[in-house]
Amino acid sequence: MINFIRLFILSLFCLFVSMPLLGKCPINVTGKEAMSMGIYIAEIKSSNTLIDYQSERVYSPASVTKALTTATAFSLLPQNLQLETKVNISGEIVNKTLYGDLIIYAVGDATLESKHFPENCGFCDSIINAIKSIGISKIEGRCCFIPTDFKQDCGVNPNWEIEDIAWGYGTGLYPFNYKDNVFSLSINSSTVTTSPLIKDLIIKKIPLGEDLSTIYMRPFNSNELIILGDSKRNVSNICSTPYPEDVFIDELLSKMKDAGICINQSHIENSEYLKQRNIYTHKSPKIVDICKSLMVRSDNLFAESILRVISKGNPINVAIDTELNYWKNKGLNTNFITIRDGSGLSRTNRLSPRFVAQVLTFMAKSDYSNEYINCFPKSGKDGTLANFLKGTRLEGKLALKTGSMNGVQCYAGYKLDENSEPTHVIVIMVNHFFCPRRELRCAIENLLLNVL
């Protein structure tokens, strides 16, 4: 009888510890009663759930959205796909003079001259070499752009906050993008310096008093940069480029002049009817490499580009519908999911931990599991996770995409075994927290160490 009671108690204990955590808040931080949080952690093979806490509610995911964008891209696009920016000339060449235009067919490639792919740079030099190779020393026409595959919804996403779009992380996506669509700005008492040169930039300084934080603002798709703060303070920051094709034109013309090639930048009558030929085609890095770069560094511009490639030539709402319909057709409930962009910068995105976990589980079982999971930063090692769980037994054992903005801290990804194979899906979304971010991160680290 005693043995039976012991066995019964042991069985109850095992049942209790194996049940997913449902009711009690899994982390203890200051102000936990006011914050919103959803958590879903489960084993992939057995579907055994370790924690399920408000996982079907929707939350602002911030950059965790990039994990969804990348998953959709891996599912719908060839991993070796490269975006091609074609450079043509029109008209005829007579005595080393081109009586026509230099035409660039822009496809929305966000990697043109990106510092994150230095091996893929040299766009201007390649064009100049192509021009020289066919004996052209003068162009009577102009350098112009024709958008293809990406003609609508150009520039800054209208769902973003105006306080974001002046900064480098809030730059818009255009048919033609150049040098990550950012520039460094330095202002002292007498000079304003930009690199690369932004000729038409208008800077308005509005003093708010000394010792106040500097605020940068730029109206949507405008070349006016408003700086609010201490007008006497020297400032240096990375800002978004309002018109990247103008930056490219200035650089190309300067390099062409140095190379002994003159271009008049004048309109040729009926130039659209002149015969064309291709002189150079620039290929972007492969989609898989772009996705890894954007996931590890949490690059908003790259993520927006990848979203548009999913449904090339269509407006952003069609690309988003394509994304949601794909996952709906895979059996996921998308009824309460809201997506406004590919990067997660929009505050109006809404994802649930359960939905994200289902996407992650699908990807872990797909044919491209290794490539997809390899895009995630590793705990204590890479990118936005460089200091997360560093020095613990989980260092290098978690592959997670982070998402953070004001009042938002999220994680989504996998636990890996000794062979780097995924064993668990992990999704943690916290909104409206009031404690210091460091306190919240430490609490999440302790949760993961206790559960996994």
pLDDT at 23: 58
pLDDT score at 219:
87
Kindly give the parts of the chain with pLDDT less than 70: 1-23, 209-212, 230-232
Give residue 209's pLDDT. 66
Per-residue pLDDT at 18 = 39
As a three-state string, the secondary structure of the chain is CHHHHHHHHHHHHHHHHHCCECCCCCCCCCCCCCCEEEEEEEECCCCCEEEEECCCCCECCHHHHHHHHHHHHHHHCCCCCCCEEEEEEECEEECCEEECCEEEEECCCCCCCCCCCHHHCCHHHHHHHHHHHCCCCEECCCEEEEECCCCCCCECCCCCCCCCCCEHHHCCECCCCCHHHEEEEEECCCCEEEECCCCCCEEEEEECCCCCCCEEECCCCCCEEEEEECCCCCEEEEEECCCHHHHHHHHHHHHHHHCCCEECCCCCCCHHHCCEEEEEEEECCCHHHHHHHHHHHCCHHHHHHHHHHHCCCCCHHHHHHHHHHHHHHCCCCCCCCECCCCCCCCCCCEECHHHHHHHHHHHHCCCCHHHHHCCCCECCCCHHHCCCCCCCCCCCCEEEEEEEECCEEEEEEEEECCCCCEEEEEEEEEECCCCCHHHHHHHHHHHHHHHC
Q: Tell me, what's the pLDDT at 210? A: 64
pLDDT value for 276? 95
